[in-house]
Amino acid sequence: MKTTMALVNGLILLGATLIVLDADAASVGSQCGQSGEVVLQVLGSGGPELAGGRASSSYLLWHKGKARLLVDLGPGAMLRFGETGARLDDLELVAISHLHVDHAGDLPALVKVGYFTDRATALPVAGPGAGGMFPGLTEWINGQFRSTAGSYRYLAGALDGSGGQFALRPIEVTPDGEQATTVLKTQGMRIDAIAVPHGAVPALAYRVQIDHRVIVFGGDQNGSSAAFWSFSRDADLLVAHLAVPEDVGGPARTLHATPSRIGDGASQANVGHLLLSHLMTRSEATLDDNLSIVHKRFDGEIALARDLACIAVEPAAPGELP
Ligand SMILES: [Zn+2]
């Protein structure tokens, strides 16, 4: 097992080298989308805190220079989206893992930004069904934009495409037990979702198959679902959230995966690369320890996310989409 740690263009890498471009806002611009056929760009690598200069959770997936998929849109995501040079017109899906503010709070910003673009086609938005204190995705969107009593009723065009807005098209995913659900299939891209355990919060992970690559976005979860690790099997890249340290206790332990659980799961799932994100003060305070715990269990390549970083995803074994 390799034990080296290197800082490459702002990302800490353990093990061998990922293809990573620099992450400075001023220099990245739209270059990220040009840096490979399939490129993951981190828009927000943090959690709900105001710490570390990180926006809350958000990721952009580029394919052949177009930003096709946005996963999560926590506060700050739209600012970062603008910094990347991505076009809202190119987005084919917004996939929301769950309805905590740090994953979903920038939806009204996206809607308002849309008014100032040429986009006229509806934008599919996927997210979980209702549970516990949380409404389902459709009710959540309607609660913001419906013309009668929505919080942002002045943007009611977000529901029907009127008033210079494009419409949001909710795809509410209520997973069938431990079975995955196909969310969208479009032009060589397939996205499936599966439920993941995040306390009492309905939460999803997404598996994206695109151009012979597989990328899994684990979202917030405690890592205890065997079905999730099967869902992640052989992924070229797994985005895992390192939101807690190993010795975390209390409710946070039911919400988030410890470093050892991330490392064990990624190893068992045989994923190629691991991107650790959703960093918080409590996980960064003992970052070296947490990274080494993951690294002891997972022998693949590990990178630590920071906002606007780009990772070109190469296929481990080119083949046809299933
Ligand atoms: Zn979160």
- Residue 122 in domain: yes
Give me ligand 1 centre to Cα 65, in Å.
Answer: 28
Helix axes 137-145, 107-115, angle to 10 degrees: 50
pLDDT under 70 in the chain at which residues?
1-30, 316-322
Give me ligand 1 centre to Cα 246, in Å.
Answer: 17
The answer, as to whether pTM is greater than 0.75, is yes
Q: Find how far residue 312's CA is from the centre of its chain.
A: 15
Give me ligand 1 centre to Cα 130, in Å.
Answer: 18
Give me ligand 1 centre to Cα 200, in Å.
Answer: 13
- Residue 321 in domain: no
Give me ligand 1 centre to Cα 118, in Å.
Answer: 32
Give me ligand 1 centre to Cα 278, in Å.
Answer: 7
- Residue 5 in domain: no
Helices (H) and strands (E) in the chain, counts: 11, 17
Please count the other Cβ atoms lying within 10 Å of the Cβ belonging to residue 253: 15
Please count the other Cβ atoms lying within 10 Å of the Cβ belonging to residue 231: 23
Give me ligand 1 centre to Cα 76, in Å.
Answer: 13
Closest CA to 94 of 174, 181, 170, 189: 170
What pLDDT sits at residue 28?
53
Is the CA virtual torsion 53, 274, 186, 160 positive or negative? negative
What pLDDT sits at residue 19?
42
- Residue 317 in domain: no
Residues having C-beta closer than 5 Å to ion ligand 1:
47, 102, 220
What pLDDT sits at residue 8?
43
What pLDDT sits at residue 91?
98
Secondary structure of the chain: what % helix, strand, coil (to 5)?
Answer: 25, 30, 45
What pLDDT sits at residue 30?
59
Give me ligand 1 centre to Cα 163, in Å.
Answer: 33
What pLDDT sits at residue 33?
85
- Residue 318 in domain: no
Residues 215-242 pLDDT 10s:
999 999 999 999 999 999 999 999 999 9
Give me ligand 1 centre to Cα 220, in Å.
Answer: 6
Structural domain including 49 reads 11-312
| CATH for 186 | 3.60.15.10
> How many domains does the chain contain in total?
1
Residues 82-137 pLDDT 10s:
999 999 999 999 999 999 999 999 999 999 999 999 999 999 999 999 999 999 99
Closest CA to 75 of 102, 43, 113: 102
What pLDDT sits at residue 32?
85
d(CA 59, CA 80): 10
